[in-house]
Amino acid sequence: MPFDWLSFLELAKELMEEIESRWERLSEAVKRTVVSRAYYSAFCYIRNYEAAHSRFTPTNTAEDHKNLIKHLKNIGRFKIATTLRNLREYRNDCDYADSIENIDKIVRKALLDAEELLRVYRES
């Protein structure tokens, strides 16, 4: 049975709820994880949708991240491409940067953006 990529977004939301009650000491690590899971939920869901319903052919390499965004632009889904690109940038910052300014704002934006992208695709 294929993995349900929507569950990553559910996990991200659950992690946010746990920060204050149990993981205050690990707050930034949890927030970075939330952003990462939100991105991958949207990216993988959209990747699979476009592979099944459009002419996107995943290579199952890191190139798929930029190739999917390019594909979305090519088929006229500019807003989705921009939102996914922004989510990817947030995720890259959270996975690689030593310090991040406004992480709370980034977490809120990442969750909202991922939810919106998934809503659009689930209603397609």
Interval 7-37: pLDDT, tens:
999 998 888 877 766 767 778 888 999 999 9
Spacing of C-alpha 108 from chain mean position: 12
pLDDT of residue 14: 86
Is the CATH number of domain 6-122 1.10.10? no
Residue entry with tokens 């939100």: 38
Q: How confident is the prediction for the chain on average, in pLDDT?
A: 93
| Among 90, 116, 113, 101, CA closest to 36 | 90
pTM of the model: 0.88
pLDDT of residue 18: 77
| Average pLDDT of the segment spanning 56-80 | 98
> Quick check: 44 pLDDT over 80?
yes
pLDDT of residue 20: 66
CB 39 within 8 A of CB 9: no
CB 69 within 8 A of CB 92: no
| Average pLDDT of the segment spanning 102-108 | 94
DSSP 81: H
Q: How far apart are CA 21 and CA 40, in angstroms?
A: 25
Residue ranges per structural domain of the chain:
6-122
Q: CA dist 50 to 58, 87, 108, 124, Å?
A: 9, 18, 26, 11
CB 121 within 8 A of CB 72: no
